Structure 1
């Protein structure tokens, strides 16, 4: 079987920014083992596969190690492939996923994603995880992921986690870890995202993590519309809205590669 693969930098204005994702449009589904093997071969944070279903598409996401329930940047990249390369003409795309129906809409030169909100709740400070993270968070919270809130963006930028230890500690929780702090200069908040238990030490830009961080910062800052910056080495910007039970995440994409794969 052959398929076209697009590699797209999501939440990026230019290549080499944002978060790279491999996108594979399909007309028929291969086995789960094959999709997992393709994702491992690509060795990117996410490989997404989509195929027509109903009025929209079925969308699935794989890290090099596992299939995941939600991935923001690969959803944004999948919509970009449809709009920019596959001549999708409607203003919005409906993706059926393990997290329900996700809608992506064109908004000028940005794409807008409508995701379920995940409002974090207080969590007892996990001393071993905090030590492995390598910083002193002021607040700990949890949804499906842990979130550590710091006082300054510099503290988040300067984190140097012990990834083997962090992976061992997060695996029983089946969780990733968001580190976040207030921003400045037009950026409302910054973050980094670590998921060594899912095969990703640090994810460059993580849409799904903002389903947790946006509701937190919207309440903290008293505003619904927020500009977020993920301060990984590659970096990426998201324009976000807290919409109650939903979170709106907006970003741009840059094309890096188009290839044919065989499996």
Structure 2
């Protein structure tokens, strides 16, 4: 029997039971892909991260699984994993490397954790009428697509309308066959925030991801161009809500900064 040190961490929040919960497993004995997928299904969270032993280049290998499939890059599970290692080991910086050999540098500054991410581009993309209908949207300001994540981005006019969306997820899933998810965003009317978003992904995870760091790899650049800003504050207006600060460092690199709360620690036995 294997015993795996396991945590549940609420990411992109400064209070428990908000933000986005992620599972974090410290893997000391190698797990198969099927075992990691089974653990992710058992925990039932949008993603579970699996952290391997530090390697010869002082990087921690990390992999992410939704209950449905492996996800190459996950922002909230990276933040959750960073929180666990910082609290567990007492360090203030570390590097993760994902399955795509992408290096993710992490720094802690008090209660805040800053993560380095790549910046991705978007291209214009037509959206099927059936997809808009399933979302409950009649009109969009813009529709674009990010190839690295296979996610559609839809900008709509109102953050209040965004907050009140109630998609038909069965119809949404049937409306498109070639995407991993759809991100809906709007200019924020909240004091202190620049833009808001919600992320729906019944194709590859749960119906809605409460707070999504990975989408900001292209969402930050999208809004940065529109607002002529390199540093912005993002609010995800899902039921649980969450927040982060994004900063565009150059054409290829950005950071995401936020907080996380460890709410459970235990041992998983398989």
Alignment of 1:80 with 2:83, yes or no, is yes
1:250 pairs, out of 257, 261, 270, with: 257
Contact 2:107/2:114, CA 8 A, preserved across alignment: yes
Q: How many residues align?
A: 260
Instruction: After superposition, give the CA deviation of every residue in 1:127-147 in whole Å (9 maximum; x if it has no partner).
Output: 121111111222101002100
Task: Choose between structure 1 and 2: higher strand proportion.
Answer: 1
Corresponding residue number in structure 1 for 2:68: 65
Structure 2 CA distance, aligned partners of 1:258 and 1:125?
Answer: 43
On the 8 A contact 2:185/2:197 being kept in 1, the answer is: yes
> C-alpha displacement at 1:26, in angstroms?
1.2
Separation in 1, partners of 2:266, 2:127? 46
Q: Who is 2:45 aligned against?
A: 44
> Alpha-carbon deviations, 1:42-84, whole Å to 9, x = none?
0000111011222121100000110111100000000100001
From 108, 119, 122, give the equivalent of 1:120: 122
Alpha-carbon separation, structure 1, partners of 2:235 and 2:106: 20
Distance 1:142 1:227 in 2: 22
Partner of 1:163: 169
Which residue number corresponds to residue 101 of structure 1?
103
Residue 221 of structure 1 aligns with which residue? 227
Q: What is the TM-score with the length of structure 2 in the denominator?
A: 0.93
User: What residue in structure 2 maps to residue 92 of structure 1?
Assistant: 93
CA distance in 2 between partners of 1:50 and 1:6 (Å): 12
4+ aligned runs moved over 3 Å, structure 1: none
Unaligned runs of at least 5 residues, structure 1:
none
Distance 1:156 1:242 in 2: 25
Aligned to 2:241: 235
Report deviation, 1:174: 3.2
Distance (Å, rounded) in 1 between the aligned partners of 2:109 and 2:221: 22
CA contact (8 A) 2:48 2:65 kept: yes
Mark the runs of 5 or more structure 2 residues left unpaired by the alignment: none
Partner of 1:173: 178
Measured on the aligned residues, the alpha-carbon RMSD in Å equals: 1.1
**Secondary structure of 1:129 counterpart:** helix
Partners of 1:218 and 1:107 in 2: CA distance: 24
